[in-house]
Amino acid sequence: MVTALTLAILLLSIIAHEVAHGYAADALGDPTARLSGRLTLNPLPHIDPIGSVLIPALLVLSSSPILFGWAKPVPYNPYNLRNQRWGEALVAVAGSATNLFLALFFGLFARFFVATLPAAASLAGTIAFVNLFLGLFNLIPFPPLDGFTVVRAALPWSLASGFHRFENQVRASGILALVLFLIVFSYVLAAPFYQFILFLFHVITGM
């Protein structure tokens, strides 16, 4: 039951992340996601069988310290964005910002209602933890994670073009590059990152 609930929360959090990208792009002048019917929390248009189901299920069932997954990317055309300097960065950061907002909202709910509504507070705590992990994980500056897009957009063109070529090479490698990154992350960064998430979770929720 707990595993199924965690999977459901992770899936909905991933979808909220992607929808936020679409809303940000729409607000900044690109209607592609809206015209494609992707500005919805209905899971069906967003589910990727591998990234939304298989990978999250394996991570949760194996009690992995990593909570990660992806939905079908919300389509957008960066050339439609009114702000060509920072538009891509704003669209990219919108996903993680949404997850972190949800983490703060539900984390504070858990903190203030743990005594009077323990079951609801426990559920809110799970939502907060999943979104906290997902939001911060996506800010890691490695493609295709959002943190890389933010860093690339902040760099001068002479450097950003090199980052863009590197991103294209990683994307061309498909899921292999992501698997290699997750392996390296698991062995090198997972433990301190997980401890950092636990620290922030305790600060927000008091749990």
User: Are 38 and 74 a contacting pair, CB within 8 Å?
Assistant: yes
Residues that are catalytic: 18
Gyration radius of the chain's alpha carbons: 17
User: Are 28 and 92 a contacting pair, CB within 8 Å?
Assistant: no
- 3 alpha-carbon distance from chain centroid: 20
At 144, list the tokens.
């295709």
HEC-encoded secondary structure of 1-44: CHHHHHHHHHHHHHHHHHHHHHHHHHHCCCCHHHHCCCCCCCCC
Contacts of 190 (CB under 8 A, 6+ apart): 65, 66
